A and B are shown apart, each in its own frame.
Chain A
Amino acid sequence: GQQLNQSPQSMFIQEGEDVSMNCTSSSIFNTWLWYKQDPGEGPVLLIALYKAGELTSNGRLTAQFGITRKDSFLNISASIPSDVGIYFCAGKSNDYKLSFGAGTTVTVRA
């Protein structure tokens, strides 16, 4: 699949700050997924979005499925040290394959 445009590539934030990252695509997706990956582990699903315009929360995480179906964002509120990791967006198309963003590396300063 194609690689999605994910930004920022990395970010250093202070504990307690909010984090925002986004993904854009040249193609339309039916599903947007956000994952977090810790070193040496597989990605863990954070939020799944199925409908254009959908806004979904999971604890301190909020994600939205863009109206055009070509973009999505993820917000993390009041960051804590365990939010450190690499966050990936992924879009699922009609062939059920996932296309991934390049990842956003989040480092939290205590």
Chain B
Amino acid sequence: GAVVSQHPSWVICKSGTSVKIECRSLDFQATTMFWYRQFPKQSLMLMATSNEGSKATYEQGVEKDKFLINHASLTLSTLTVTSAHPEDSSFYICSASPGDITEAFFGQGTRLTVV
């Protein structure tokens, strides 16, 4: 299947700092990528849809100024958690599809811990 790579795998940061997470589609182009958040022993919750060359669309309840998304190329989307707080600690995962109607492939996830 197609490969989606996420970096970093884990990060620890201090409260008030910002953290950037990258999501890359390695062997296909993706005009759309999706960002999810997952709490322990829970399912994936969609945060936002990242659209190449245009603004991201956010799910209800997700602060767009808190979670900045940039999709500058067909193979890279970034999620920046700004002014991070301990409650932002979570597992963040991205996904992309080679085509709109095909299966979605996920990155390996990023464990964010804010101290």
Contacts and interface: CB of A to CB of B under 8 A. Distances in A.
A59 B4 CA distance: 23
A33 B103 contact: yes
Nearest to B6: A42
Contact of B43 (A41, A97, A102): A102
B101 A43 contact: no
Contacts of B101: 30-31, 50, 92, 96
A98 B34 contact: yes
B49 interface: yes
A103 interface: yes
A92 B108 contact: no
A40 B41 CA distance: 11
Contacts of A63: none
Interface residues of A, number: 24
Interface string B1-14: 10010100000000
A45 B4 CA distance: 12
B42 interface: yes
Contact of A45 (B43, B103, B107, B111): B103
A98 B104 contact: yes
Which of A42, A88, A97, A98 has most chain B Cβ within 10 Å?
Answer: A42
A35 B34 CA distance: 16
B106 A42 contact: yes
A100 B44 contact: yes
Contacts of A33: 103-104
B49 A40 contact: no
Contacts of A3: 43
Given A40-B111, A48-B103, 7 more contacts: A33-B103, A42-B4, A88-B43, A96-B100, A100-B43, A100-B44, A102-B43
Q: 3 shortest A-B CB distances, which residue pairs?
A: A42-B106, A48-B103, A42-B109
